């Protein structure tokens, strides 16, 4: 009897393992089957990598960006619109992980857990997606960036609607360049830089250092400094672009005095700088309608005083995504928190059954209201007294901060940034623009922002 029991144990263990395996498989099947079925490597798919029978993607104004006709995936008729919208919409491949046709492929293709992709085409069960983006704004950004690499984010900080999420280089989904993998001109063409690329933020980061000072230092606003064009911190020099003379915080931000903010960062110290940066989206990602952004980085754990000083002006090893920068400006505009950015305005139920438009909820608070309002006033003051309101728009009331971020590759021109927001109640937009190697925030990024904001405003003023 004892012997039989001993022999039964391995059999029982094997049987138990079998059932655990079955449960594991069924669990995985229910969770991942739609992705497995939609993989372009799946030989059972129809042509066009499984998109030949999928739902339609439109922009916020109903312009068709992608649809399926007779088993073929068809994109917008206009070449520039196709190129401009590719970073958001995607092509037939799944190379761009943040594109709608990658992230929402199973919903678009109408994958069913019961029927798989096996429904006949007349019963196309794919869901239609209406995006929040405006294809005209997206095309304006694409044309304004021209042959430069860069990105543009514009969103409504009251509703969360993302009007523009442009990224260059891009390409025509009908005609992917054969040398896309090897030609430097297409470097990162599978990325949406607006969401996924992180760059040194340069002087735009002075808004974070200002926020930290207003929060943690009692006399921050009235702290004054004599800028002679350079200052010594930790035994090495911090240079300014100009000699700003005697400045307080708002003048230091307007003239973008490095010395002022470098000293602030060191006075604040690593802990308070890191806390403020963390609250403002650094060392974290955002999730926008299920799409996870790249991470912005602020890490001064190994910094000496001079490094910490440089971090306060957005150099050292600080990196930021364009979307994070736009969310920061949105929060400044809107009393410390903005509506959660969203990319999908409407998604039909299966079989194209229409549903009401989605609405955004309030996003995470990244600033106290009084600090947000002070930063807003400083950005307004900077545009009024330094850049000129007319540099952005003849009709919109724009508040902004530029940045010209040095990069480590020797001989390369600095990245050009501008971020800000409109104060117009009926057109409340936040934005961030980067032109890689553009060399001057004011010279290269502001004209792009101006073109895009004027186009975006048509959604609210016409
Ligand atoms: Zn200075």
6-57 tens-digit pLDDT: 678 878 888 888 888 777 776 666 555 555 555 555 544 445 778 888 999 9
Mean pLDDT of the chain: 91
pLDDT of residue 44: 45
| Confidence at 350, pLDDT banded by 50, 70, 90 | confident
**With 90 as the cut, is the pLDDT of residue 408 above it?**
no
Query: Among the listed ranges 160-169, 236-245, 252-261, 345-354, which one has the minimum average pLDDT value?
Result: 345-354
Which strand (E) or helix (H) includes residue 141? helix 135-145
Average pLDDT over residues 370-398: 97
The greatest distance separating any two alpha carbons of the chain, rounded to the nearest whole angstrom, comes to: 97
Quickly tell me which residue has 């970073």 as its tokens.
87
Listed in sequence order, the residues at least 6 apart from 423 whose beta carbon sits closer than 8 Å to its beta carbon are 333, 380, 397, 398, 399
> Does the residue 393 lie in any domain?
yes
Q: From ligand 1's centre to the CA of 218, what distance in Å?
A: 22
Average pLDDT over residues 276-300: 97
In angstroms, rounded to a whole number, what is the distance separating the alpha carbons of residues 129 and 96? Answer: 18
Q: From ligand 1's centre to the CA of 140, what distance in Å?
A: 35
159: nearest Cα among 462, 395, 377, 456: 456
pLDDT of residue 407: 86
Q: How many domains, in total, are found in the chain? A: 1
pLDDT of residue 161: 97
pLDDT of residue 118: 57
> Does the residue 427 lie in any domain?
yes
> Does the residue 456 lie in any domain?
yes
> Does the residue 55 lie in any domain?
no
pLDDT of residue 43: 44
> Does the residue 68 lie in any domain?
no
Q: From ligand 1's centre to the CA of 238, what distance in Å?
A: 9
Q: Is 284 or 349 the better-scoring residue by pLDDT?
A: 284
What residue numbers bound the domain in which 310 lies?
A: 152-344+361-461
Q: From ligand 1's centre to the CA of 252, what distance in Å?
A: 7
Q: Tell me 362's DSSP state.
A: B
Q: From ligand 1's centre to the CA of 217, what distance in Å?
A: 20
Q: Is 58 or 8 the better-scoring residue by pLDDT?
A: 58
> Does the residue 34 lie in any domain?
no
Average pLDDT over residues 424-433: 97
Q: From ligand 1's centre to the CA of 232, what distance in Å?
A: 12
Q: Is 12 or 296 the better-scoring residue by pLDDT?
A: 296
Q: From ligand 1's centre to the CA of 249, what distance in Å?
A: 11
The 10 Å Cβ neighbour count of residue 82 is 23
In angstroms, rounded to a whole number, what is the distance separating the alpha carbons of residues 284 and 286? Answer: 7
Q: From ligand 1's centre to the CA of 259, what distance in Å?
A: 5
pLDDT of residue 116: 60
Q: From ligand 1's centre to the CA of 257, what distance in Å?
A: 4
> Does the residue 64 lie in any domain?
no
Paired sense of beta strands 72-75 and 64-69, if any: antiparallel
pLDDT of residue 233: 97
Q: Domain holding 162: CATH number?
A: 3.40.710.10
| Confidence at 368, pLDDT banded by 50, 70, 90 | very high
Q: Is 25 or 168 the better-scoring residue by pLDDT?
A: 168
**With 90 as the cut, is the pLDDT of residue 332 above it?**
yes
> Does the residue 374 lie in any domain?
yes
């Amino acid at each position: 009897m004892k012997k039989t029991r001993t022999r039964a144990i391995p059999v029982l263990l094997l049987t138990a393992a079998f059932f655990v395996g079955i449960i594991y498989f069924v669990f995985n099947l229910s969770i991942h089957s739609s992705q497995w079925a939609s993989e372009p490597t799946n030989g059972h798919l129809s042509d066009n990598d499984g998109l030949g029978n999928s739902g339609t993607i439109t922009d916020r104004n109903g312009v068709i960006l992608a649809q399926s006709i007779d088993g073929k995936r068809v994109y917008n008729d206009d070449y520039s619109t196709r190129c401009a919208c590719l970073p958001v919409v995607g092509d037939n491949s799944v190379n761009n992980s943040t594109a709608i046709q990658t992230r929402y492929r199973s919903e678009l293709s109408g994958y069913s857990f019961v029927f798989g992709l096996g429904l006949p085409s007349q019963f196309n069960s794919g869901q239609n997606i209406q995006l929040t983006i405006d294809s005209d704004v997206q095309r304006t950004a694409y044309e304004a960036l021209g042959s430069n690499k860069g990105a543009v984010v514009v969103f409504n900080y009251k509703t969360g609607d993302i009007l523009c999420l442009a990224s260059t280089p891009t390409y025509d989904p009908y005609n992917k360049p054969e040398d896309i993998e090897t030609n430097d001109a297409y470097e990162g063409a599978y990325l949406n830089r607006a969401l996924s690329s992180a760059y040194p933020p340069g002087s735009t980061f002075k808004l974070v250092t200002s926020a930290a000072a207003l929060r943690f230092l009692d006399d921050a606003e009235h702290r004054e400094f004599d800028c002679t064009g350079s200052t010594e911190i930790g035994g090495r020099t911090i240079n300014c672009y100009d000699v700003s003379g005697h400045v307080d915080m708002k003048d230091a931000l307007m003239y973008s005095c490095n010395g002022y903010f470098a000293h602030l960062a060191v006075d604040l110290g690593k802990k308070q700088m890191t806390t403020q940066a963390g609250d403002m989206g650094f060392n974290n990602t955002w999730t926008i309608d299920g799409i996870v952004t790249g991470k912005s980085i602020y890490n001064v754990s190994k910094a000496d005083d001079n490094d910490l000083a440089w971090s306060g002006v957005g150099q050292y090893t600080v990196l930021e995504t364009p979307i994070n920068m736009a969310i920061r400006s949105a929060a400044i505009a809107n009393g410390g928190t903005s509506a959660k950015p969203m990319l999908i305005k409407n998604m039909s139920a299966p079989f194209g059954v229409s549903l009401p438009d989605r609405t955004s909820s309030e996003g995470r608070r990244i600033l106290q209201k009084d600090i947000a309002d002070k930063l807003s006033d400083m950005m307004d003051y900077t545009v009024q007294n330094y850049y000129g309101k007319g540099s952005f728009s003849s009709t919109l009331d724009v508040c902004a901060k530029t940045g010209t971020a040095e990069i480590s590759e020797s001989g390369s021109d600095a990245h050009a940034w501008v971020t800000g927001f409109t104060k117009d109640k009926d057109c409340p937009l936040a934005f961030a623009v980067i032109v890689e190697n553009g060399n001057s925030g004011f010279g290269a990024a502001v004209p792009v922002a101006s073109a895009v904001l004027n186009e975006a405003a048509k959604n609210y003023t016409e």
